[in-house]
Structure formats: structure tokens, C-alpha cells
Amino acid sequence: MYEGSLFEKLTGTFADIAHDEKESLYLSIANNLAYIFTTNVGSSEACIDYGKPELNDVNLGLEESLSNINVVFTDSILKYEPRLYDVNVKSSTGSQNLSKIHIIITGYMRAKNEDHRVEYTAVILNDGIIEVKR
């Protein structure tokens, strides 16, 4: 049974309550993605490139910004979440509300000696805060 990462054990952020290995691993990855997406680059003394970069580049149009988000988050996930592979990040705005950017992260994780397709969603709100949903 998966019991959480070392970081999760040290901080007490992972409660293993009757989850099977697949569910526990899925939740642990979601926790790490939330940390990656809510930490600003330069905030970690151990890894200065850990986290989300500054997303406000006034020189980029909407499509270029979305493409940049896809590349930056894919690179960050591949580097700091090794339990996910074949990662694909897609971002878009709603036609009704351009102040929210929706991000869908898909990939695969290995649990119980099997590959499992997983999907996570995140939303960048107009104040720059990112919410990761499981």
C-alpha cells in the first residue's frame, strides 16, 4: 500500500485512510501538482526553478500565452513529478470568461504493476491563484 511521499509524511499532508494503492498514488500526485502550481519560481531555496513561473508576459497574445503555459507546466511536471509520464498539458479559456484559464493534465502513472491513465484539472484565476482539482 502506498503510504505517501517523504514530504507528505514530514508535513502530515497525506492521510492514508483506507485508500488502495492506485487511489493513494493518484491523490499524492495531485498534492504534488498543487504544490508545483502554487509555488512561485524562486521561492524554493533547494530548487530555484521549482514551481510556476511568472505568467504575465504583456508581449504575448492569448494564444501564445496558452501555448507558453502548456510548455512551462509540462516541463515542470516532467522534472518534479516523476511518477507521471507521457504527460500532456492543455490550457484554454472559456468563451464566456477570459479571466480564467483551464488546464487539463493527462498522463499515466504506474500502480499495482499496471499503467493507469490519469487526469487532473487546474484553474488559473484572474488574480493568478491556481486551484488544482482531483
For residue 131, pLDDT beyond 60: yes
Nearest to 38 by CA among 63, 20, 13: 13
Rounded Cα–Cα distance for residues 65 and 1 (Å): 40
CATH number for the domain spanning 110: value is: 3.10.450.40
pLDDT confidence tier of residue 31, bands split at 50, 70 and 90: confident
121 in any annotated domain: yes
pTM tops 0.85, yes or no: no
Identify the pLDDT of residue 11.
56
Number of structural domains in the chain: 1
41 in any annotated domain: yes
Mean pLDDT on 19-48: 83
Rounded Cα–Cα distance for residues 8 and 19 (Å): 15
For residue 52, pLDDT beyond 90: no
Grid cell of 126 as nine digits: 484572474
Q: Residue 48: CB partners within 8 Å, gap ≥ 6?
A: 41, 42
Whole-number mean pLDDT of the chain? Answer: 78
1 in any annotated domain: no
Is there a contact between 123 and 130 (Cβ–Cβ < 8 Å)?
yes
For residue 14, pLDDT beyond 60: no
Reported as a single tens digit per residue, the pLDDT across 69-124 is 888 889 889 999 999 999 999 988 765 556 678 889 999 999 888 999 999 998 87
Q: Residue 125: CB partners within 8 Å, gap ≥ 6?
A: 99, 100, 131
26 in any annotated domain: yes
Rounded Cα–Cα distance for residues 38 and 110 (Å): 25
Angle at 23 between CA 115 and CA 14, to 5 degrees: 125
The residue segments making up the domain with residue 77 are 6-133
